[in-house]
Each structure stands twice: as C-alpha cells, then as structure tokens.
Amino acid sequence: MKRFILLFITMLLFIPNVKAEEDLVPNAGSGILIEKSTGQILYEKNAHEKRPMASMTKIMSMLLVMEQIDKGKLTMEDEVLISENSANMGGSQVFLQPGETYKVHDLLKSVAIASGNDAVVALAEKVAGTEEEFVNMMNNKVKELGLKDTNFENPHGLDSENHYSTAYDMAMLGRELLKYEDILKFTSTYEDYLKKPDGSSIWLVNTNKLVRFYEGVDGLKTGYTKTAGYCLTATAKKNDMRLISVVMGEDSPDHRSSDTVKLLSYGFNNFKLHNILTTKEKVGEITIKSGKKEKANIYINEDATELLKNTDDVNKYKFDVTTYNIKAPVKKKDVVGILEIKDNKGKVITKKNLVINEDIEKANIIDYYKRNLKTIISGKN
C-alpha cells in the first residue's frame, strides 16, 4: 500500500502537463474518456477494439439487477438462496456456502466492492432463474442499447473464448448503470463487511483503490485475468460534471490506476459542463384531448447540458418545441413531444423528450357538463 501511495503522489505531479494529443494511456491496449450526461468522447485509443473485459462484466450484471429493482420485480430486502452452482464459482469470491440465504442488498454490495463471482451468480439465478438465462438477458440488453462489439458468455467475467467487449461499449454500459445512482452507495465504499448466517463476517475491500485516493471517484468496476490484463471502468464527479473512463489490457494494477488518473485529470482540467435546462423548469403547455385537465405543463425528461472547453464562452440558445397530439388517459413521464436546443449558429446541441409530471385521466360526462357550464357562464360575463 505504501508503494501504491508513493506512486500515486508522484504521478499526480505530472498530470497538469498532459495534453489531448499525447497518449494518455501508454500502458493500456485501449482506453476511452467520456462525459456522462452528453456521452461526448473526450479521448479514445483503440476504443472499438474487441478485448476480454474480465470482471468489468459485472457492470452489466449490476445493471440488470438495478433494472429489476427499478421495475419493482426485485427489492434490496429480497432473500436469495445460495445454490451449489453459485457457491462453487472460481476466481474472486466472498465464500458463500450452499443453502445459505442473503439479502439482495448484501450480495450486490459483495459484487460492487469485492467483485464476488459467487455473489453475482447468485443474483443472476435470482433474477433469471438460471445463470444461462441471465446471460441471455445480458446479450439482449446489449442489442437494446445498440452496442455491436460486446458479447457475454457469463455474468462474472472469467475468461471464455467468445466473451468480449470494447472500451467504448464498457463506457456506454457504465453510463447506463449510472442512471441508477443508488449503485454508487456500493461502488464508492472502500471497505465493509458481509455478515454470514453463522455470525462471522467477511471483510470486503474495494478492488478499485481510486475510490480512496482520487478525489471524486465513486465507482465503477475493476477487472483482471491473465488474458484480459488489468482493466478498470471508473467514474468521478467534480463541479457537477461526471466523467467515465475505461482502460483495458493494462500490464499492472499500478499502471491501471495511473492511466485512469491521467484520463480523469485531463477531462477535469480541460472541460466544463454548462447546464442549459433542468427537469424542474417548465418548458410550456400541452393540450390534452378528452382529459379531465385540458392543459398540462411539459418538462424535459432529463437535464439538458452542453460540454465546453474551459476557455469557451457559454452559447446563447434557441429552443424549438414540438408537441404531439395527445389524448387522455396520459401517465406521468409519458413522452408528449420533443425539444431541440440549438446554439446561436442554429446547430442542434441536443434533443430531449418532453414529458408531463402528472397522471391525467379521461374526462367523463360530468367533467364535460362542468366544462360546458363554465363556458356558458363565461360567455354571459
């Protein structure tokens, strides 16, 4: 640990001199740096080169678990029975035993912090019934996200001939996982304990040492096998800007950390994020045909931001709103239109879906009666 800290402090001294045209990840086979909200690529090296990704695989596994929780099909308090299959997984593990029972919360923590292969297989079986069916879910999700250079053969990342991804795809998967910010409660934890049913505890230490040694880092997932080398998908947030970096095929854990630091520091030192419009700001109104309410306020479905160089001035923006013909009933968060945001030269910076923030039921005969009566009274006045 002392050697790691000394190396870390030494490499920080040289970070301000790093430039974009330099090889920021000289020890990596591939790498990438993106800004999370825009998805904009700030740096890349062999970013679409297919490589084994080792335990970074668990980013997808955690994503599927978080999706199930978000959909209400799973809760953090649900209990998971440990099978022979999950308990007998090789590689990194938290030493689960067949027949033991753990909560989803505890297993997810074990995956995020200690990279437990046994824990992630147990979660896979809980979600999909079998490990094989969970892998099908993983690959279906890849297709849904439009990622063409990733294929999964297991939920843990142990070497398998047709198990691969790219730096770009891993960054996109990390971005997708970060939609569920609760995962950061686990990935940002440096150390914790897993309580066993017999009263004993397993010490969990984060395999991503940067959560302790680099300001702002709070995830996401390391990986290592002899075939994959040392890998890391990392994320950090400073000044309301979140970056995601990926390095693959590193030759040592020290180089994995130092190259990641170079990527993140380059991003934070050279770019800034400007918030154009938030989800709390009203964009306009929409007419709801046949609704109990005839009008509803509309908002963007996610914050609109623009990534700028630190030396750039903030643009003056133009907002083009297009609403659809909407008929009740309408649910909260239903898409009712689209917003185009353009800069002062007319270039589209971003597009956001427009939504309403309330449920609107279909009007009944009494509603129409009251509405007509109000119109009559208003006309007399």
Helix (H) or strand (E) holding 133: helix 131-144
**CB of 253 within 8 A of CB of 226?**
no
Q: How far is residue 338's CA from residue 312's CA, in Å, rounded to a whole number?
A: 27
Q: Which of 36, 45, 58, 209 is catalytic?
A: 58
Of the candidates 243, 287, 233, 288, the residue with the CA atom closest to the CA atom of residue 268: 243
Q: Which of 115, 245, 257, 265 is catalytic?
A: 115
Task: For tokens 């597009």, name the residue.
Answer: 351
Angstrom distances, CA of residue 280 to CA of 89, 158, 160, 347, 354 = 46, 44, 46, 25, 12
Q: How far is residue 158's CA from residue 120's CA, in Å, rounded to a whole number?
A: 12
Handedness of CA 252, 253, 254, 255 (dihedral sign): positive
Q: How far does the chain reach from its first CA to its final CA, in angstroms?
A: 82
Q: What are phi and psi of 135, to 5 degrees?
A: -60, -40
**Buried b or exposed e, range 240-276, using 16+ CB within 10 angstroms:** ebbbbbbbbbbeeebbbbbbbbbbbbbbbeebbbbeb
Q: How far is residue 315's CA from residue 13's CA, in Å, rounded to a whole number?
A: 34
Q: How far is residue 96's CA from residue 103's CA, in Å, rounded to a whole number?
A: 12
Q: Which of 55, 86, 165, 258 is catalytic?
A: 55
Active site residue 37: no
One DSSP character per residue, 188-247 reads T-SEEEEEPTTS-EEEEE-S-THHHHSTTEEEEEEEEETTTEEEEEEEEEETTEEEEEEE
Q: How far is residue 30's CA from residue 188's CA, in Å, rounded to a whole number?
A: 24
Q: How far is residue 266's CA from residue 238's CA, in Å, rounded to a whole number?
A: 13
Active site residue 61: no
Active site residue 58: yes
As annotated, the active-site residues are 55, 58, 115
